[in-house]
Amino acid sequence: MKTNIKFKYDIIIIGGGHSGIEATLIAHKLGANILLITMNKNNIGKMSCNPSIGGIGKGQIVKDIDALGGYMGKFADLSMIQFKMLNKSKGPAMWSPRAQIDRDLYIKNIKKILIKKKINILENTVIKLIIKNNVILGVITKNKNKIYSKSVILTNGTFLNGKICIGNKIYKGGRLKEKSSIGITEQLKKYGFIYGKMKTGTSPRILKNSINFKKLKIHKGDKKIVKFSLNNKIKKIKKQKNCYITYTNYKTHKIIKNNINKSPIFNKIINNNGPRYCPSIEDKIYRFKDKKKHQIFIEPEGWNSNIIYINGFSTSLPKKIQYKSIKTIKGLEKCKIINYGYAVEYDYFNPIQLKFTLESKIIKNLYFAGQINGTTGYEEAACQGLIAGINAYLKINNKNKFILKRNESYIGVLIDDLINKGTLEPYRMFTSRAEYRILLRQDNADIRLYKKAYKYGLINKKKYKIIIKKKYYIKKIINFLNIKKIKYNNKTITLKKLLLNNNININYIINKIKYYKIFKKYKIYFIKYKNIISNYIKYEYYIKKENYNIKKIKKLEKLKIPKNFNYSNIKSLSKEAIEKLNYYKPINIKQAYSISGITPSDINILIIYIK
């Protein structure tokens, strides 16, 4: 669209949460002139909920973000106070890195890089978008200032018409002691956007010196620390802070059961869905009535912080009930609460209204990223900000769009799920959501994504060459293990086949070959990459199987569905299939196959009809 408007910025990003940060920094790296608008500069990157980064499925997302030139992994490494690799009892495809974070240090590290890069930051509230002929042209702030830009990214988090609930008390706000944002939902509704309400919550925070730690079980970090980032300048921490474990009990449950009708979730002050896999304590006690106790993690909020986060006790019960019930927990009998738990209800927009670039299908050059799309979690928000920031830059510079597929990354899984299926409850990533998780391990994110990252200018040539070198030595060592034979149990066997034995690990192999010339020559790479080498070999059969399935899916992607196709004409399709296909309007058979409720039979009928 031609316009006489003089754009002051290439991209305006609304919201200084984890999504807004990634969008800002990646678009700036690519060369865009950015304006980040946030209500409070001091709260950029604030962790509203638990002080941690990563987790099951989430840790893989952070690794993906880092491999694509994003920043969450760097900030996590710089602010880490404890590290754990989760799911170690399962196969390496399920391993997920997680770190406890110093909340204040995390914000400090973000501010440091924003200042260093001279990012334009405006402390204000956006009340309206400037839209003409369904094209975004900028924003209008609370003080009626018009700011024009070629693109806008909405990363409003929980602030759109946000309301905070503690018992029967309701406050307007997207976060404790912070105002809500009003105006954008009402405007977009007029353009036909489908929106709804979601709910999330947080736990109380208590004073460290009011806890009896002698009664608690120590929860130590791993001895081996794995960084999220490939940045060699960031050193691993030498010491770690302990977390602790305690449990709710009969007394806790009795108090909550007797007062459950005072919770806004149960007395219908809030009628909307909260995170299924992160329920409130009252929800846990109601849903799992047979459980006599629930695990509670006592998490420090920093190296020198006197604040402790009570992970596992998310609640919106009245303050008196929170206080009374927490004091029944072992070790917390004399605790002092400094911030009570609360629920927050907010507006979100159904992500089926977005393209895979996260651009709106309705308003050109308007992007949505983070909790506004119905997700929950810092990591899920950050990766969406990254993708929106990349694509907003590419679009205004007439370059090819950046899209990740399900077989390429966890980010691809998340966006594919959101666009094809939408969500009626806060979406959280898990390893179980990724059907190609053997390919999408946390240890190979750089190798999976380096070509795409370099092609789009997300990583520099130096980093690109480091990954090529890494790939070369891994291949060289695997080839050696495939050829070299040794005697084992009176049989001659290759080292590769020997490693396939469940009772044999890579350390045993290294011990067997440590006197060979090739080992001495490549010793540093044998040791450095031993785990990823082991994973490639042990998972080789499954990797081949998944690559075969990917080729089959690619064939479905090539089979395009005509625009405005009327599925009602295909009488052999089920009523549910017709309804959903007409609603979602998939562009190819692969997308149609991804829609919840569409059966293989429906797909076969559709393929025959289109062919």
**pLDDT tens readout for residues 182-198:** 999 999 999 999 999 99
348 contacts 363 by C-beta, under 8 angstroms: no
> Exposed, middle or buried, 610 (CB in 10 Å: 0-12/13-18/19+)?
middle
Check pLDDT > 60 for residue 19.
yes
Question: Could you give the CA distance from residue 63 to residue 97 in angstroms, rounded to a whole number?
Answer: 9
Task: Of 325, 313, 231, 5, give the one whose Cα is nearest residue 137.
Answer: 5
CATH of domain 205-343: 2.40.30.260
Write the CA distances from 541 to 473, 478, 487, integer angstroms. 21, 15, 24
Beta strand 126-132 with 243-247 is unpaired
Instruction: Compute how many other C-beta atoms are within 10 angstroms of the C-beta atom of residue 241.
Output: 18
Question: Could you give the CA distance from residue 575 to residue 418 in angstroms, rounded to a whole number?
Answer: 23
Between residues 611 and 537, the one the model is more confident about: 537
Give the pLDDT confidence of 287-343 residue by residue, as tens digits. Answer: 888 999 999 999 999 999 999 999 999 999 999 999 999 999 999 999 999 999 999
pLDDT range class, residue 564, cuts 50, 70, 90: confident
Which DSSP string do the residues of 472-513 spell out, in sequence order? HHHHHHHHHHHH-EEEETTEEEEHHHHHTSTT--HHHHHHHH
Task: Of 250, 248, 266, give the one whose Cα is nearest residue 317.
Answer: 266
pLDDT range class, residue 429, cuts 50, 70, 90: very high
90: which 2 tokens? 């399962």
> Residue 295: helix, strand or coil by DSSP?
strand
**Average of per-residue pLDDT across 276-290:** 86
Between residues 540 and 72, the one the model is more confident about: 72
> Exposed, middle or buried, 219 (CB in 10 Å: 0-12/13-18/19+)?
middle
Which DSSP string do the residues of 122-160 spell out, in sequence order? EE--EEEEEEETTEEEEEEETT--EEEEEEEEE--TT-B
| Distance in Å from the first CA to the final CA of the chain | 36
pLDDT range class, residue 274, cuts 50, 70, 90: low
- Residues in contact with 577: Cβ distance below 8 Å, sequence separation at least 6, in sequence order: 567, 597, 598, 599, 602
18 contacts 54 by C-beta, under 8 angstroms: no
Helix axes 18-30, 72-79, angle to 10 degrees: 120
**Average of per-residue pLDDT across 233-250:** 96
Task: Of 57, 40, 21, 47, give the one whose Cα is nearest residue 300.
Answer: 47
Task: Of 83, 315, 109, 323, give the one whose Cα is nearest residue 199.
Answer: 315
Check pLDDT > 60 for residue 2.
no
Weakest mean pLDDT among 14-18, 125-129, 356-360, 578-582: 578-582
Give the pLDDT confidence of 102-160 residue by residue, as tens digits. Answer: 999 999 999 999 999 999 999 999 999 999 999 999 999 999 999 999 999 999 999 99
Q: What percent of the chain has pLDDT over 90?
A: 72
Per domain, the residue ranges of the chain are 205-343, 461-541, 559-610
Give the pLDDT confidence of 456-507 residue by residue, as tens digits. Answer: 999 999 999 999 999 999 999 999 899 988 888 888 999 999 999 888 889 8
- Class of 559-610 in CATH: mainly alpha
Q: What is the DSSP letter of 381?
A: H
> Residue 597: helix, strand or coil by DSSP?
coil
Weakest mean pLDDT among 127-136, 161-170, 516-525: 516-525
- Class of 461-541 in CATH: mainly alpha
DSSP bridge pairs for 206: 308, 337
Write the CA distances from 571 to 101, 565, 593, 605, integer angstroms. 56, 14, 18, 10
Check pLDDT > 80 for residue 443.
yes
Q: What is the pLDDT of residue 54?
A: 97
Q: What is the pLDDT of residue 589?
A: 85
Question: Could you give the CA distance from residue 25 to residue 114 in angstroms, rounded to a whole number?
Answer: 8
Q: What is the DSSP letter of 8?
A: S
Q: What is the pLDDT of residue 519?
A: 77
Give the pLDDT confidence of 543-554 residue by residue, as tens digits. Answer: 988 888 888 777
261 contacts 297 by C-beta, under 8 angstroms: no
- Residues in contact with 117: Cβ distance below 8 Å, sequence separation at least 6, in sequence order: 25, 28
Q: What is the pLDDT of residue 273?
A: 66
> Exposed, middle or buried, 287 (CB in 10 Å: 0-12/13-18/19+)?
exposed
Write the CA distances from 344 to 94, 203, 315, integer angstroms. 32, 12, 11
Find the radius of gyration of the CA atoms of the chain. Answer: 26
Question: Could you give the CA distance from residue 315 to residue 199 in angstroms, rounded to a whole number?
Answer: 12
Q: What is the pLDDT of residue 161?
A: 94
Ranges assigned E (strand) in 313-438 = 337-339, 342-349, 366-368
375: which 2 tokens? 């997700």
Check pLDDT > 60 for residue 199.
yes
pLDDT range class, residue 218, cuts 50, 70, 90: very high
365 contacts 199 by C-beta, under 8 angstroms: no
User: In the predicted model, what is the mean pLDDT of the chain?
Assistant: 92
Q: What is the pLDDT of residue 435?
A: 86
Q: What is the pLDDT of residue 3?
A: 64
Q: What is the pLDDT of residue 58?
A: 97
77 contacts 234 by C-beta, under 8 angstroms: yes
CA angle 305, 382, 372 (to 5 degrees): 105
